[in-house]
């Protein structure tokens, strides 16, 4: 223990030295009222509809507002840009809009903004990246200056959930003029923070919006400046956190988080997230690994991995083992009646032998994050005779491998864009979407039925059956939910939420 | 066989003289001693390793080495981030490094020596063609091409060996060419030609044995460089595949633990440095003995 402490101190001293040597002034954030955050991926665009990385969601929720707000503590929907809403018929919702809200450039918020934004993003030709967040919208219609109607393509009960999350409202006059490109270069929203400086791929600085409307369910921002730097290398991020160069880093692996806990200037905050981890297995007709078409091989793979031990030892506090491909708190998610697979390497070997692979087999695995978890799985698979070839890629490259049908096994994670409904999770991988490498028509039909039924009980039953088939036929390996560890400046009042969204607007200094 | 070796009986043989000179080279002795030791450890890894290098035990992760208060003799060098015994992985890792060093040198040596011999012996058009190929090859940065190829076809031990072997023959070709040019004009080559020996016989039996010392020196240097390149590729995630215990890969995986468990990165790092040091000392010693004037 003594030695461990010594090592920690030596590491600290070394980093402190490097930090002093470097040009960045290691100012504590409290002194200049700035939260400095480091994140490992840079968004392709700051416009929330044109990126699909977490930091994009975080920036989006701070710079823009949505019609509805979901209180993260109670799960209750509150009006944000809308003040009230009502279901007019199965496919139409009417919103009363808030008056007196202004965008950062002074443009007034009214029905035109909502109508323009929703109609823009719902058109496929505008090529919104996050299609699953917007493709349920048929159109929006203006009723009067502060009243709009949103019409969905089919019956879509989760609409409010999406309108409370990824579907932000752009200022129509500005957006019409500059388009997504201009919105990326000089973003304008109505949220509690405004973009003051943005260097693509490097950093983005947000400043407090002094005119943020008082009735917003998001509290008035208190800390004046947020500086987010994109630092791809985790060790650099850690060194920065140790030396006080940044005040907040997230998704710190469990081991490092536990070690950082010994550092007096930092606090470690952790919690479960909605992000689920699972392994896809390619069973398409042209799969490069025909062995995976054999149910016994797929079951052998699930039996080979000790998920309980992984959760306990390397994934960390707040994580739980999953039995179905969805996050348990999501509407419609259940593992009732679904097959469960225990850790049983002997059974796994037996299944492989029965399937005609007594000497094991070779499979590729693609992964893009939490490499230590991938390697633990590789170790478990090797123990039952499955030799793997790891391709560790950036998310976009891995997605290409999957959508072109060339993947065999994938170490996949999905955060559902923080949408608390199964429609944002399971269908993305099993309803014949680009990322679906299973293609079971029965599962697809059930999922689509769940997506587009009004009766909550019908939805639940449909999702339950779909999830049961996926589990029983072992189409994918459900692994665990991912906790997130934040290392934050000890002087910051910081709370973690399951949606992996640090909420700068509610943070204060101690 | 060749005339050069048939020295008068009064003098000790050439091999004996070489060995005597080598004994005087302390650096060489240290290097060669280390190299032999590492090679023995690698060869007998299955007997020496206390555990299966692939056996992961998530409950026993990042145990520090024995000299720390929390260490124990069960895992003399501790365990890695997945609870695998670090000493066992280090020993098996030596096998991979040496396997790569030797295999790359064999492939590159075969290609480079053949080209050097042909160019040096025949001269003229053959020489021009070979020089052109060597120049072309030299214009390609090895690490970049290796990265591109591995990124395209995917990494594995054999791919890394092949790629490096097919890229690293340039020094063999250049050195063998100039060495052959020197040897070609020797009297014994002329004598063999006059005696009616075939070209193949002359090249393989008269020229090759006489340029072998230079070949060995180049081979040691290239082996060291190949081992380092493999470590670099594996470090970047484009080399040897996990869970194979390559030293480069071990360094890469330990990177995340650098601040608080630095032995994880220090142990394979030191092992790699030691191996390269040993090979380079051996190579330098050999060079000094073979051509004492070529120093510095």
Q: Quick: pLDDT tens for B159-171.
A: 889 999 999 999 9
Q: Verify cis geometry, omega within 30 degrees of 0, for the bond prior to B243.
A: yes
The CA-to-CA distance between both ends of chain B, in Å, stands at 33
Q: What angle (nearest 5°) sits at the alpha carbon of residue A212, between those of residues A208 and A217?
A: 110
Residues 6+ away with beta carbon under 8 Å from A323: A335, A338, A339, A340, A471, A478
Among residues B190, B206, B184, B215, the alpha carbon closest in space to that of B287 is found at B215
B105/B52 Cα distance (integer angstroms): 29
Residues in chain B: 296
B30/B35 Cα distance (integer angstroms): 9
Q: Which residues of B touch A392 (CB under 8 A)?
A: 237
pLDDT value for B3? 45
Local structure of B56: helix, strand or coil: coil
Tell me if A352 sits within 8 A of A286, measured CB to CB.
Answer: no
Looking at every residue in chain A, the average pLDDT score rounds to 89
Q: Is the pLDDT of residue B80 over 50?
A: yes
pLDDT tier at B278, thresholds 50, 70, 90 = very high
pLDDT tens, B229-238? 888 888 887 8
Residue A36 phi, psi dihedral angles, 5° rounding: -100, 125
Tell me if B287 sits within 8 A of B216, measured CB to CB.
Answer: no
Percent of chain A at pLDDT > 90 equals 63
CB contact under 8 A, A4 and B70: yes
Q: Is the pLDDT of residue A210 over 80?
A: yes
pLDDT tens, A417-452? 778 889 989 999 999 988 899 999 999 999 999 988
Write out the residues of chain A at the interface with chain B, using a CB-CB cutoff of 8 A. 1-4, 7-8, 10-12, 15, 234-235, 238-239, 242, 253, 255-256, 259, 306, 309-310, 312-314, 364, 371-372, 375-376, 378-380, 382-383, 388-392
Among residues A85, A161, A133, A156, the alpha carbon closest in space to that of A330 is found at A161
Question: Which structure tokens are listed for A124?
Answer: 């496929």
**DSSP type of residue B43:** H
Q: Which residues of B touch A256 (CB under 8 A)?
A: 256-257, 259-260
**DSSP type of residue A442:** H
Q: How far is CA A60 from CA A47, A120, A420, A481, in A?
A: 7, 17, 18, 24
**DSSP type of residue A461:** H
Alpha-carbon distance A139 to nearest alpha carbon in chain B (angstroms): 44
Regarding predicted confidence, which is higher, A9 or A231? A231
Local structure of A278: helix, strand or coil: strand
Q: Which residues of B touch A312 (CB under 8 A)?
A: 58
pLDDT tens, A2-45? 444 444 444 444 444 444 444 444 455 788 899 999 998 888 89
Write out the residues of chain B at the interface with chain A, using a CB-CB cutoff of 8 A. 54-56, 58-59, 61-62, 64, 68-70, 81-84, 154-156, 237, 241-243, 253, 255-262
Among residues B48, B94, B102, B58, the alpha carbon closest in space to that of B245 is found at B94
pLDDT value for A148? 94
> How many other C-beta atoms lie within 10 A of the C-beta of residue A454?
12
CB contact under 8 A, B69 and A392: no
Alpha-carbon distance A379 to nearest alpha carbon in chain B (angstroms): 7
Residues 6+ away with beta carbon under 8 Å from A248: A35, A36, A37, A38, A486, A487, A488, A489, A492, A494, A502
DSSP letters for B89-120:
HHHHHHHHHHHHHHHHHHHHHHHHHHHHHHHH
Tell me if A271 sits within 8 A of A413, measured CB to CB.
Answer: no
Among residues A477, A317, A482, the alpha carbon closest in space to that of A411 is found at A477
pLDDT tier at B44, thresholds 50, 70, 90 = very high
Report for A297-301, B215-219, B284-288: range of highest mean pLDDT: A297-301
Instruction: State the burial class of residue B69 (Cβ atoms within 10 Å of its Cβ: 0-12, 13-18, 19+).
Output: exposed
Among residues A423, A435, A406, A424, the alpha carbon closest in space to that of A463 is found at A423
CB contact under 8 A, B64 and A4: yes
Q: How far is CA A117 from the centre of its chain?
A: 23
Residue of chain A whose alpha carbon sits nearest to that of B70: A1
CB contact under 8 A, A1 and B241: no
Give mean pLDDT, residues A252-279: 89
Q: How many CA atoms lie within 13 A of A227 on its CB side?
A: 14
Q: Which residues of A touch B52 (CB under 8 A)?
A: none
Tell me if A217 sits within 8 A of A78, measured CB to CB.
Answer: yes
Q: Is the pLDDT of residue A372 over 90?
A: no
Residue A417 phi, psi dihedral angles, 5° rounding: 50, 30
Element (H, E) at A143: strand A137-144
Question: Which structure tokens are listed for A322?
Answer: 């999953």
> How many other C-beta atoms lie within 10 A of the C-beta of residue A144?
10
pLDDT tier at B102, thresholds 50, 70, 90 = very high
Give mean pLDDT, residues A202-229: 92
Element (H, E) at A279: strand A266-281
Element (H, E) at A299: helix A295-304
Q: Which of A2, A11, A393 to mutate against chain B (most B CBs within 10 Å)?
A: A11
A382/A35 Cα distance (integer angstroms): 44
A381/A359 Cα distance (integer angstroms): 13
Question: How many interchain CB pairs under 8 A, A with B?
Answer: 93
Gyration radius of chain B's alpha carbons: 23
Q: Domains in chain B and their CATH numbers?
A: 26-44+85-290 (1.10.3720.10)
pLDDT tier at B11, thresholds 50, 70, 90 = low
Token pair 């260490």 in the structure block, residue: B71
> How many other C-beta atoms lie within 10 A of the C-beta of residue A58?
22
Q: From the list A3, A234, A380, which residue is nearest B256 (CB)?
A: A234
pLDDT value for B234? 85
Residue of chain A whose alpha carbon sits nearest to that of B61: A313
Q: Is the pLDDT of residue B203 over 50?
A: yes
Q: Which residues of A touch B241 (CB under 8 A)?
A: 388-390
Residue of chain B whose alpha carbon sits nearest to that of A314: B58
pLDDT tens, A376-402? 999 999 999 999 988 888 788 888 899
Q: What is the pTM for the complete model shown?
A: 0.76
Question: Which structure tokens are listed for A170?
Answer: 């752009």
pLDDT value for B292? 52
Q: Which residues of B touch A379 (CB under 8 A)?
A: 54, 56, 82, 84, 243
Q: Which residues of B touch A15 (CB under 8 A)?
A: 259
């Amino acid at each position: 223990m003594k030695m461990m402490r010594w090592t920690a101190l030596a590491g600290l001293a070394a980093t402190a030295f490097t930090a002093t040597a470097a040009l960045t002034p290691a100012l504590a954030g409290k002194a200049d009222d700035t939260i400095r955050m480091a994140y490992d991926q840079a968004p392709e665009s700051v416009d929330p509809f044109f990126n699909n990385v977490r930091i994009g969601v975080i920036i989006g929720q701070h710079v823009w507002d949505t019609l509805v707000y979901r209180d993260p503590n109670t799960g209750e929907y509150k009006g944000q840009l809308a003040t009230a809403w009502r279901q007019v018929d199965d496919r139409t919702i009417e919103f009363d809009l808030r008056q007196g809200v202004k965008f950062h450039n002074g443009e007034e918020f009214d029905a035109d903004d909502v109508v323009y934004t929703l109609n823009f993003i719902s058109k496929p030709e505008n090529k919104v990246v996050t299609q699953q967040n917007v493709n349920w919208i048929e159109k929006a219609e203006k009723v009067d200056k502060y009243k709009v109607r949103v019409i969905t393509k089919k019956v879509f009960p989760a609409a409010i959930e999406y309108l409370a999350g990824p579907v932000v409202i752009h200022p129509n006059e500005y957006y019409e003029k500059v388009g997504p490109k201009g919105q990326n270069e000089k973003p304008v929203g109505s949220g509690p923070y405004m973009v003051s400086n943005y260097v693509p791929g490097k950093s983005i600085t947000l400043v407090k919006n002094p005119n943020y409307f008082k009735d917003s369910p998001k509290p008035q921002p208190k800390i004046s400046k947020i500086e987010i730097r994109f630092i791809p290398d985790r060790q650099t991020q850690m060194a920065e956190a140790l030396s006080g160069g940044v005040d907040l880093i997230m998704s710190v692996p469990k081991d490092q988080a536990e070690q950082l806990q010994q550092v007096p200037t930092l606090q470690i905050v952790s919690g479960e997230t909605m992000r689920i981890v699972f392994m896809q297995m390619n069973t398409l007709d042209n799969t490069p690994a025909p062995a995976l078409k054999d149910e016994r091989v797929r079951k052998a793979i699930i039996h080979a991995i000790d998920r309980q031990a992984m959760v306990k030892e390397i994934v960390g506090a707040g994580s739980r083992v999953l039995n179905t491909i969805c996050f348990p708190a999501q509407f419609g998610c259940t593992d009732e009646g679904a097959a469960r697979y225990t850790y049983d390497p002997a059974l796994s070997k037996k299944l492989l032998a029965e399937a005609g692979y007594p000497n094991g087999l070779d499979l590729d695995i693609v992964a893009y994050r939490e490499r230590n978890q991938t390697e633990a799985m590789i170790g478990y698979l090797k123990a039952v005779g499955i030799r793997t070839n790891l391709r560790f890629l950036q998310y976009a490259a891995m997605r290409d491998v999957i959508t072109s049908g060339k993947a065999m096994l994938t170490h996949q994670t999905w955060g559902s864009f923080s949408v608390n409904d199964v429609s944002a999770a399971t269908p993305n991988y099993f309803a014949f979407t680009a990322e679906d490498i299973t293609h079971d028509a029965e599962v697809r039909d059930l999922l689509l039925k769940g997506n587009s039924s009004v009766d909550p009980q019908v939805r639940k039953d449909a999702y339950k059956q779909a999830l049961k088939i996926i589990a029983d036929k072992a189409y994918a390996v459900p692994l665990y939910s991912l906790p997130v560890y934040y290392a934050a400046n000890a002087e910051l009042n910081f709370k973690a939420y399951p949606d992996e969204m640090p909420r700068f607007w509610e943070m204060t200094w101690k | 066989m060749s005339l050069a070796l048939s020295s008068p009986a009064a003098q000790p043989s050439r091999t004996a003289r070489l060995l005597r000179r080598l004994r005087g080279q302390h650096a060489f002795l240290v290097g060669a001693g280390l190299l032999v030791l590492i090679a023995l450890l690698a060869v007998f890894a299955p007997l020496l390793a206390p555990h299966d290098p692939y056996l992961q035990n998530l409950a026993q992760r990042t145990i520090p080495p024995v000299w720390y208060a929390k260490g124990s003799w069960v895992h003399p060098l501790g365990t890695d981030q997945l609870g695998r015994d670090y000493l066992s992985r280090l020993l098996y890792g030596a096998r991979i490094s040496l396997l790569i060093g030797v295999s790359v040198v064999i492939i590159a040596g075969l290609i480079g020596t053949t080209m050097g011999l042909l160019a040096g012996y025949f001269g003229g058009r053959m020489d021009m063609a070979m020089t052109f190929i060597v120049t072309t090859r030299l214009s390609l940065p090895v690490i970049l091409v290796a990265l591109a190829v591995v990124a395209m076809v995917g990494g594995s031990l054999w791919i890394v060996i092949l790629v490096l072997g097919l890229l690293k023959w340039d020094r063999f070709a250049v050195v063998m060419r100039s060495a052959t040019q020197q040897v070609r004009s020797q009297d014994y080559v002329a004598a063999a030609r006059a005696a009616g020996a075939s070209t193949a016989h002359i090249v393989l039996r008269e020229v090759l044995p006489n340029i072998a010392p230079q070949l060995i020196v180049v081979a040691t240097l290239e082996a060291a460089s190949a081992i380092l390149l493999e470590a670099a590729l594996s470090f970047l995630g484009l080399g040897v595949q996990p869970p194979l215990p390559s030293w480069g890969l071990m360094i890469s995986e330990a990177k995340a633990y650098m601040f608080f468990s630095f032995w994880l990165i220090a142990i394979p790092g030191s092992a790699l440095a030691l191996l390269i040091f040993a090979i380079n000392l051996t190579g330098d010693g050999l060079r000094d003995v073979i051509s004492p004037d070529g120093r510095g």
